[in-house]
Homo-oligomer: A and B are copies of this chain.
Amino acid sequence: MRRPPERRVVLADVARLAGTSEATASRALKNDPRIGETTRAAVRAAAAKLGYVPNAAARSLRAKRTHILGLLLDDLADPVHGKVAAGFEAAAASQGHAVFIMTGLHDPDREQRALTAFVEHRADGIALASCVIDPADVHARVPAERVVFVQPDYPRLADGREPPARGVLRSNDAGGFAMTVRHLVEQGYRRLAYVGPGSGSSDALRRAAASDALAGTPAARMRFLDSGVDGWRDPSDVAGALAEDPPDAVVCYDDKLALALLDRLRSTRLLVPDDLAIVGFDGIPAARESRPRLTTVDVPSVELGRRAAEMLMIAGRDGGRLPPSEILPVHLIVGESTPRRTAGERRQAPRVAVASRRGAGE
C-alpha cells in the first residue's frame, strides 16, 4: 500500500522535478494554453509521480476566490432539508465547488456562528434554507450578491414588503396550500380544519394561504388548531380535539404532522378517510406508503437546493450577477386520504369501538 507523502509536496517540488519554474508548473497544471505540449506533459508527469495535491488555502488566498459554497439549513436529519442539501451538494460538486454545511437548529445564535464560519472561510456564496435569522442581519455581514435565501416564507409576512428581485428562491407553498383546499372543496368537503405548529412564519404563510383559498366558497368554513412546534412527535391533543368536534377534513402543516396524526387517529373513533379526510404537505416518501396513501403536495426540494447552488455559482463568476428570484412550482398528489364525498355520506355510527384517547394501539 502506497503511503501518502510525508512532507507535503508543493508546487516547487513539481517544478524542480519537471525542470521548470514554479510559474510554468502552475500554468501547466491548469491547462494555460500558452504552455508547450512537452512542458505540460513533463509537469503533469512530475505532479503525478510526486502525488502533488494543490493547497486550496494558498490558492484561495492568492486568487481571492475559494470555490467554496456555504449552506446553512435547519436540520440535516430532516428528510426535506436533506433533499435540499443533496441537490445543493450535487450541483456544487458538478462544477468543482466544495460545500460547507452547517445546521441552525432554529437557534439564531447558531445561525450567526454559522455565518461567521462561512465568512471566515470566504465562501464564494452562501445559501440559507429555512433560517430564522433576519435577512437584514445577513446582509449586514455578507454582500447581497453572494447570498440566496431558500425560503418560501420570505420575507416575514408581517412587514408586508415584497421580497427582493434577486436572491430569493421559493417553492410555491401558498399556491400548494390553495390547491389542497380547492381539492378538498371539489371533493365535497366543507367543514375544514388547519393544523399547524401555531408559530413561525412558515406556519403563518400556510395558514393564511389555506384560509384565503376558502374565500370564494361561502358555504365552507375553516377552523385552526395548534399542534405546537413539536406536535408531530405526539399529536394526541390535536387528535383528541378533532375527535370531540370532528371537521370533514384536516389540512396539515406538513406530511410529518399529517402522518403522525393519521397514526394517532387510529386511537379515536374517527376513521380516515371515511369520517375525516386529511392532507399533508411536502411529498415525503412515507406519504406514498401510508394507509391510506396521503394526499399531499410535492415540493421540489432537491431542485431548490440545486438551483440555489447554481445561482450562487453564476453570481460567483467574475462579472456575474445573481439571477432573478424564482418561485418553483409544486404539484398536488392525490392519494386515498381525500376521496370524493357527497353530502350525508358520513357514517352515523362508528365502526370501531370507542378507544381511549391515548394509548390504544401501542
Contacts and interface: CB of A to CB of B under 8 A. Distances in A.
Interface of A: 1-4, 51, 53-58, 60-61, 66, 75-79, 81-83, 85-86, 89-90, 93, 98-103, 110, 113-114, 116-117, 119-122, 136, 139-143, 256, 259-260, 262-263, 266, 285-286, 288-291, 293, 302, 336, 361
Contacts of A98: 100, 102, 117, 121
A90 B117 contact: no
Contact of A116 (B2, B53, B293): B53
B93 A82 contact: no
Nearest to A83: B77
Nearest to A286: B286
B262 A289 contact: yes
Contact of A122 (B56, B75, B99, B291): B56
B76 A289 contact: no
7 tightest Cβ-Cβ pairs between the two chains A and B: A76-B86, A82-B82, A77-B86, A286-B286, A57-B57, A263-B289, A56-B120
B77 A82 contact: yes
Contacts of A120: 53-56
B61 A89 contact: no
B61 A57 contact: yes
Contacts of A288: 263
Contacts of A58: 57, 61
22 contacts: A4-B139, A4-B141, A51-B141, A53-B119, A54-B120, A56-B122, A57-B57, A57-B66, A76-B76, A77-B79, A81-B82, A89-B101, A89-B102, A93-B102, A98-B102, A99-B102, A100-B101, A263-B288, A263-B289, A286-B286, A291-B291, A293-B361
